[in-house]
Structure 1
Amino acid sequence: MLQLCFGDSVKGTLTCAPHIGNTIGGATAVVISTDKPLDTPLKKAAFSVYRTLAAPFYKRRAQKQEARRRAEAVPVDYESNDVIALLGDLNEGPIAGGLMSEARKEVVRAWLCFSPHGDTAGTDADVEPYWQACQKDLQTLLTRAHTGEPVRIWYDHTPASLCGLHAAAALLEDAPCQITVVETPELETKNGVARRAALGERGPTEMGALLQYERPLPDTDHHALAARWRSLQAENAPLRAEQNHRLTSVPAGFYDAMILSEAPANEIMVAQLIGKVLAECRLGISDQLIYHRIEHLKRSGKFLSVQPSPAPYQEIIRRA
């Protein structure tokens, strides 16, 4: 059975899930840092003692937590080579020309060649292997689904994942295969509103437990999803978001008011503002999208640059 997901992080998690056992694998790292200068011998000595005592404690705690998660993990029923992903971030940019159009490739290029920290950005040499891997996954999906192999779709309620679900429904509308979906459950409540943890927020040990939420995708729902995706392609808006439980085309400035609402009256680093928006608004969108909207708000005079930086995310800004 094919395991179809949306985004590299989810693909990596699902790929690792079949290898989960009751032993700890990989490396456990502990980082202890300070933004205060260690400018006296006393401060240096105190920090050295803290680092020496704290690091082993946090390492042991992390190992115990990982061991518990692995011991409680529900085994998955597939192999790693069954996991494929459709091109991610379909909630951003043009979609009229299809998943692997040149316009979509430009979106991928902009994403891969952007460096938030001012270091060496990616180049076209990095784009091509990634693009070819996406094409390979798409071809695998179409080939195996049209031979009748069942497809299990993993999705959450982030805009990119919902776009992937709709796009997959359109791609598989004529495929003679059984389709089931695994939808993330509601997990917690914030201000009276239940939210679903995105699949990208989960680890490999959690994937097996989500299989209890698997359900068949009825033909009526399948056709409705496919029809909705074709409508969205025809509209070809800058962004897509879930509104009133429906995937909808929205303008480029859809998130601007929420970004401004999280900006304090005083100065703030761009990275901190992005973090506040991601943590507080729970929009399920990429940090790069938020950054580009901040840049637009700067150009329109809503934000002022207080301290520019060669590292885009380290710039200091404030509200105008």
Structure 2
Amino acid sequence: MIEIVFSDSACGSLKVAQHYGEGEYRDGGIGVIVSHEDGSKPTKEEVEAARRKAKEKARLAWESATPLGGNTADIYGFNLMLSVGDISENQPGIKRQQTLEHLYSVYPNDVGYQAAQKMFKRVKEDLKTVQERAAMGESLRIWYSNHPDEMCGLYWFMGQLIHWKVHVKQVSIVKLPEWEADEKGNIVQKRGWGEVAPGEWHRYIALQKPVLPIFVQSCASHWQGLQRENTPLRATLNGQLVSAPEPLYDDFIYREIEAEGEEFREVKVIGRVMSKYQLGISDSWIALRMEEMIREGKLEVTSVVAEDMPVYHRVLKKCTYRL
């Protein structure tokens, strides 16, 4: 069974899930991050308490897990970030490569550029391998959600299957529920498969279903329509994947900027936008939009970023008369 996901985090989690819970739990090193809202440094006692809690949580998750089974070599992650940038190419080409490089440009030195290059090269190789395996009659299981990149990935990949003339009987899909209730009765919402822990994947196998020819054709046709429109963004609105303008998410960013004082840490605003609104957009996209606000004179940079840190680890100042 060939497993298809659309993010690196989902790919890594699914690989771990295949054998998660097998054998006796081993207490490996666990890192934790402890922070205070006021920016003060946490005490050693607070860090140690957080580490103990994380270790206990990891042990319980392992002991209650059901291994998914399978081979890690069957898992392919197409992290093309298709919700952003030019999508006019039918196959990942120079335009998609440039979009990935642009998104990763917020990271220091050449780290982002090299990561984008490596990712693009791997996607090209993996796509060829999957095509060859599908041509030999292997089954494919596609994991997707309402996350814009995963929804775009599904529609794009369905077009690939038509191009390859893959029989629909080889294909099944699993959609992540929009919400769930945990063991305490609380509502839990995950933005995409990248937020699913290794010990949770087995629960979703029951949601797997075969695809119908009309579904494959509908997805591929919808993607062709989006390609013709070729707007800067794609977004999932009311469960539908639609073309969208570049400033689509700016109001959410401005809302969190307004909640800050005259000077504020950019990374704090980015973190709040991502966690509070669950929009399915990346930290790099928010950082690039805030970079545009700086160019427009709405914000001003007041601190220098360390060379080994992403560009958004800086302090910004509001130019309130222009916000």
Q: Shorter-normalised TM-score: what interval?
A: 0.7 to 0.9
Equivalent in 128, 137, 156 of residue 148 of structure 1: 137
Task: Answer yes or no: is 1:165 the counterpart of 2:154.
Answer: yes
- Match for residue 102 of structure 2? 110
Moved more, 120-129 or 284-293: 120-129
Deviation at 1:209, TM superposition (A): 1.3
Change in Cα spacing, 1:270 to 1:81, as seen in structure 2 (3 Å) is same
- 1:188-203 counterparts in 2 under 5 A? 195-203=189-197
Secondary structure of the 2:227 match is helix
CA distance in 2, matches of 1:114, 1:270: 13
Please list, as runs of the form range in 1=range in 2, the aligned pairs for 1:1-320 lying within 5 A after superposition: 1-21=1-21, 22-24=24-26, 26-31=28-33, 35-36=39-40, 51=44, 53-115=45-107, 119-122=108-111, 126-173=115-162, 174-176=165-167, 177-187=169-179, 195-264=189-258, 266-267=261-262, 268-301=264-297, 303-305=298-300, 307-310=302-305, 312-313=311-312, 314-318=314-318, 319=320, 320=323
The alpha carbon displacement at 1:271 in A equals 0.8
Q: Which amino acid in the other structure matches residue 305 of structure 1?
A: E
| Structure 1 SS opposite 2:80 | coil
Q: Deviations over 1:174-212 (max 9, x none)?
A: 2125211111113259xxx98444211122111111212
TM-score, length-normalised on structure 2? 0.84
Equivalent-residue separation in structure 2 for 1:64 and 1:78 (angstroms): 27
1:89-138 CA deviation, whole Å, 9 max, x = no partner?
A: 100010101342101111122234432xxx43327555443322111111
Secondary structure of the 1:74 match is coil
Counterpart CA distance in 1 for 2:34 and 2:252 is 32
Q: Is the 8 A contact 2:4 2:140 kept in 1?
A: yes
State which drifts further: 224-233 or 139-148: 139-148
Equivalent pair of 1:5/1:155 in contact (CA under 8 Å): yes
CA root-mean-square deviation: 2.5
Q: Distance in 2 between matches of 1:94 and 1:248?
A: 14
- C-alpha change, 1:93 and 1:32, in structure 2 (3 Å) is closer
Q: Which moved more, 1:6-15 or 1:129-138?
A: 129-138
Change (3 A) 1:25 1:146: farther
Change (3 A) 1:277 1:55: closer
Unaligned ranges ≥5, structure 1: 38-46
Select between 197-206 and 237-246 the one with higher mean Cα deviation.
197-206
Name the CA distance, whole Å, in 2 between partners of 1:208 and 1:283.
26
Tell me if the contact between 2:191 and 2:280 (Cα under 8 Å) persists in the aligned partners: no
- Secondary structure of the corresponding residue to residue 106 of structure 2: coil
TM-score (norm: length of structure 1)? 0.85
Distance 1:96 1:275 in 2: 31
How far is the alpha carbon of 1:282 from its aligned partner? 0.8
Aligned partner of residue 84 in structure 1, secondary structure: strand
Deviation at 1:146, TM superposition (A): 2.1
Q: Which amino acid aligns with 1:27?
A: G
SS at match of 2:30: coil
How far the C-alpha of 1:264 sits from its partner, in A, is 2.2
Offset at residue 60 of structure 1 (A): 2.9
C-alpha offsets along residues 201-240 of structure 1, whole Å, 9 cap, x if unaligned? Answer: 1221111112121111222111100110111111111110
Contact map agreement 1:157 1:196 (CA 8 A) in 2: no
CA contact (8 A) 2:79 2:119 kept: no
Q: Distance in 2 between matches of 1:32 and 1:244?
A: 36
Question: Unaligned regions of 5+ residues in structure 2, if any?
Answer: 182-186
Q: How far apart are the structure 2 equivalents of 1:169 and 1:205?
A: 28
Whether the 8 Å contact between 1:114 and 1:122 is mirrored in structure 2 is no
Residues 106 and 112 in structure 2, CA contact (< 8 A), matched pair in contact too: no
Does the Cα contact within 8 Å between 1:270 and 1:317 map onto a contact in 2?
no
Distance 2:9 2:26 in 1: 20
Which range moves more in the overlay, 144-153 or 13-22?
13-22
Structure 1: distance between partners of 2:18 and 2:59 = 16
